[in-house]
Amino acid sequence: MSKGTKYVAKPMDEQGIIHWTDEENQIWNELITRQLPAIKGKVCDEYLHGLELLNLPHDRIPQLHEVSKVLKKETGWEVAWVPALINFSTFFDLLQQKKFPCATFIRTREEMNYLQEPDIFHEIFGHCAMLTNPYFAEFTHTYGRLGFSASKEDRVFLARLYWFTVEFGLMRTAQGRRLYGGGIISSIGETEYAMSDKPEFRPFDVVDVLRTPYRIDIMQPVYFEIESLHQLFDVAHSDIMAKVEEAKALGLHAPKFPPKDSEKMAS
């Protein structure tokens, strides 16, 4: 949902098949085979269970219908083909229909470690395993319904809730800190960083989350930790929009990062 991208989503043929090149399949192979050992001992059990259910191929990019078949069986979700860029209304509308948007392009070798646009590796490997979990799926569905009918101003606040859960969420477990956010799980650098002593870790509180600024182009200075996925289910069944009003009244926290312009001036 960024303003511009150099990537173009690959179309489906009449049978719903996307024809990936050998190079694109090779990039998928390199991404998944390096990321699997990187997340070992760092991701939550629910993610690992979902990954086992998905049984993603290593030698090629999975077809969307293969992933959708598993998601539909487990939670009623599916993966939806979208172009490289979609607007917020389309994004929320898909989520409220239990369709997870997936732009069908994969990063180039020049951006193997980081890209701002969510590619198919980020969407499938990072997110879809968690969508096999009913608590997580319910939270995401509720988020889509609320976002679709929210005002432009309220969507800005809701974006922070998505960012610090679905994208960059952490969980406290009996085994220690574990990852569940797709933005971390699909990133080789953020996987290591989020499990280090460098960031600040806060207990999950909806109003606190809604008041916390973020930037998409840096390692996150702050992460929020839930106690369990059931906590997200409870949030989904709470009055989230009342929390948005409370956050608006209190105002934003001071950012833990410099603005982009000051970074450019200093460089």
Q: What is the pLDDT of residue 263?
A: 43
74 marked as part of a ligand binding site: no
Tokens, residue 262: 């000051």
Q: Could you tell me the mean pLDDT of each successive run of 10 residues in the chain, 267 residues long? A: 73 96 98 98 98 98 98 98 93 98 96 90 98 98 98 97 98 97 97 98 98 95 98 98 98 91 41
Q: So where are the chain's domains?
A: 22-251
Distance separating alpha carbons of residues 252 and 240, to the nearest angstrom: 17
pLDDT, position 85: 84
| Spatial separation of the C-alpha atoms in residues 28 and 34, rounded to whole Å | 10
* Whole-number pLDDT of residue 266: 37
**CB-based contacts of 224, cutoff 8 Å, min separation 6:** 164, 165, 169, 170, 201, 202, 203, 204, 205, 208, 209, 212
- Of the CATH numbers 3.40.50.1220, 3.90.550.10, 1.10.800.10, 1.10.630.10, which one belongs to the domain with range 22-251? 1.10.800.10
Q: What are phi and psi of 86, to 5 degrees?
A: -135, 155
Q: Is 167 annotated as a binding residue?
A: yes
Asked if residue 122 belongs to a known ligand binding site, the reply is yes
CB 105 within 8 A of CB 7: yes
Instruction: List all residues 6 or more positions away from 96 whose beta carbon is below 8 Å from its beta carbon.
Output: 141, 144, 145, 147, 148
The answer to whether residues 53 and 20 touch, using CB atoms and an 8 Å cutoff, is: no
- What is the predicted pLDDT for the residue at 2? 43
